[in-house]
């Protein structure tokens, strides 16, 4: 969920920066051609996005929340039985980045020293991204797709550990927390959603499942992306 939120805000930031560049070109002394080209396009395609300070703050906040989520995953993994551990290559980098970011006022601390010594090319507060991938810690950091694949493995191992301990878990995160609520017949149309959905009018919310062929394409694209990561 948090990885998707970061990807979304990074895409918005990139689009806003591009729009700002287009506006600068269109308002230059020789910008008549640029303005004419965009004026004849659909109004929705006009360079209207602004790389605002607010959007930059949101981007930073989403990245911080992601590091907190990763730290929680590391804590979950530490509590799993030995035979169910699901380590990820580079997880120590993410833990060190999170520690340094969390304790930014402690200069020269253990995590900062370890990160600088063992991973000198990793940048604490850097995020590099393209249309296909996001790297936490800069170009020599950890790819986000690796984190997403790891999160899926940890989730599977956690469910296995809970089942082994005979702990009942919800079959779906979209299920109601109120006992018996999902079994009620009326009304037939329900909104099973979470905070991870983007801000979209309810009238535009999808009502059906993603077609199977589209799911296969998405899965294939993700698998191809992961295949490029030789480390994990």
Whether residue 220 lies inside any domain: the answer is yes
User: CA 177 to CA 232: how far, in whole Å?
Assistant: 36
In order of 103, 109, 127, the CA distances from 112 in angstroms are 9, 5, 17
Whether residue 194 lies inside any domain: the answer is no
Contact partners, residue 139, CB within 8 Å, separation at least 6: 121, 128
Whether residue 197 lies inside any domain: the answer is no
Count the alpha carbons within 13 Å of 134 in the hemisphere toward its beta carbon: 20
**Mean pLDDT along residues 210-222:** 87
Q: Cα angle at 230 between 75 and 67, to 5 degrees?
A: 30
**pLDDT higher for 22 or 171?**
22
| DSSP conformation class of 134 | E
Structural domains of the chain, count: 1
Percent of the chain with pLDDT over 90: 53
Give the pLDDT band of residue 21 (cuts 50, 70, 90): very high
Domain that holds residue 216: 2-170+211-227
Residue 217 has pLDDT above 70, yes or no: yes
Whether residue 106 lies inside any domain: the answer is yes
Q: Return the CA Rg of the chain.
A: 22
Whether residue 195 lies inside any domain: the answer is no
Token readout for 220 is: 């294939």
User: CA 46 to CA 26: how far, in whole Å?
Assistant: 11
Token readout for 129 is: 């991204």
Closest CA to 82 of 167, 163, 150, 157: 157
Tens digits of residue pLDDT in 96-145 = 998 888 877 777 788 899 999 999 999 988 999 998 899 999 999 999 99
Token readout for 88 is: 């990820």
Whether residue 155 lies inside any domain: the answer is yes
In order of 90, 97, 123, 216, the CA distances from 127 in angstroms are 15, 12, 8, 29
pTM score, whole prediction: 0.74
Farthest CA pair distance, the chain: 72
Whether residue 200 lies inside any domain: the answer is no
Closest CA to 191 of 201, 82, 146: 201
Whether residue 184 lies inside any domain: the answer is no
150 and 88 in contact (C-beta within 8 Å)?
yes
The predicted structure's pLDDT at residue 103: 76
């Amino acid at each position: 969920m948090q990885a998707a939120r970061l990807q979304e805000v990074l895409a918005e930031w990139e689009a806003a920066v591009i729009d700002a560049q287009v506006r600068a070109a269109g308002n230059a002394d020789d910008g008549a051609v640029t303005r004419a080209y965009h004026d004849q396009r659909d109004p929705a395609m006009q360079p209207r996005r602004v790389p605002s300070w607010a959007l930059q703050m949101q981007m930073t906040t989403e990245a911080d929340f992601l590091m907190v989520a990763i730290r929680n995953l590391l804590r979950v993994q530490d509590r799993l039985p030995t035979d169910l551990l699901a380590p990820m290559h580079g997880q120590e980098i993410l833990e060190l980045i999170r520690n340094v970011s969390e304790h930014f006022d402690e200069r020269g601390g253990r995590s900062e020293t370890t990160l600088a010594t063992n991973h000198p090319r990793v940048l604490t507060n850097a995020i590099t991204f393209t249309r296909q991938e996001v790297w936490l810690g800069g170009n020599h950091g950890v790819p986000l797709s690796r984190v997403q694949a790891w999160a899926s493995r940890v989730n599977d191992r956690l469910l296995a550990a809970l089942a082994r301990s005979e702990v009942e878990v919800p079959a779906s995160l979209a299920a109601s927390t109120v006992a018996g609520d999902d079994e009620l017949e009326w009304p037939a149309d329900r909104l099973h959603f979470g905070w991870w959905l983007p801000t979209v009018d309810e009238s535009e919310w999808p009502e059906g499942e993603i077609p199977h062929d589209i799911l296969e394409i998405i899965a294939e694209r993700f698998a191809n992306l992961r295949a490029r990561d030789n480390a994990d």
